Structure 1
Amino acid sequence: MNDIECSRAGCRAGARWRVVWRNPRIHTADRRKVWTACDEHVSYLRGFLAARDFPVEVEPMTEATA
């Protein structure tokens, strides 16, 4: 699980969060995309998506979801 890096451009920190989202204009309700985030960037990535009115959820990354 520690090998997964944050999705924020330029960040190489280990991810601890899953930012699950979709663009409702192009994705069906069952299609979800996942960005990974470190503690420092989880709020930034969530806010970036929420500002575009995309449905977004933040979940802790676990061994099962890694």
Structure 2
Amino acid sequence: MNLLDLAGGTAAPETAICSRKACRAGAEWRLLWNNPKIHTPDRRKTWLACGDHREWLEDYLRTRGLWKETLPLVPDESPATPGGAA
């Protein structure tokens, strides 16, 4: 065990997990969004979604005017950046 694990370290999980509260399912989608009140127009934040929660999370973001686009989550791709670029 690593001390960072105990302290809530920043180590990435082995598999991408859905961002919906209490969901532990593997993510299949990347929902890209930004808050125009605090982010520059080109900034994209990412939520991950499983197949069951994609629609719910998209609706949540769309209702608030935050949603930009939804892309499939490709294996071996960084979930935080479009195209997997670091």
TM-score (ref. length: structure 1): 0.89
Supply the distance in 1 between the matched residues of 2:41 and 2:67 (Cα, whole angstroms): 10
Higher helix fraction: Structure 1 or Structure 2? Answer: 2
Structure 2: which 5+ runs fail to align?
Answer: 1-13, 80-86
TM-score (ref. length: structure 2): 0.70
Structure 1: which 5+ runs fail to align?
Answer: none
Identical pairs, percent: 45
Number of aligned residue pairs: give it.
65
Largest Rg, 1 or 2: 2
Q: Partner residue of 1:21?
A: 33
How big is the alpha-carbon RMSD for the aligned residues of Structure 1 and Structure 2?
Answer: 1.4
Which portions of structure 1, spanning 4 or more consecutive aligned residues, are displaced by more than 4 angstroms? none
Supply the distance in 2 between the matched residues of 1:42 and 1:65 (Cα, whole angstroms): 18
Higher relative contact order (CA 8 A, sep 6+): 1
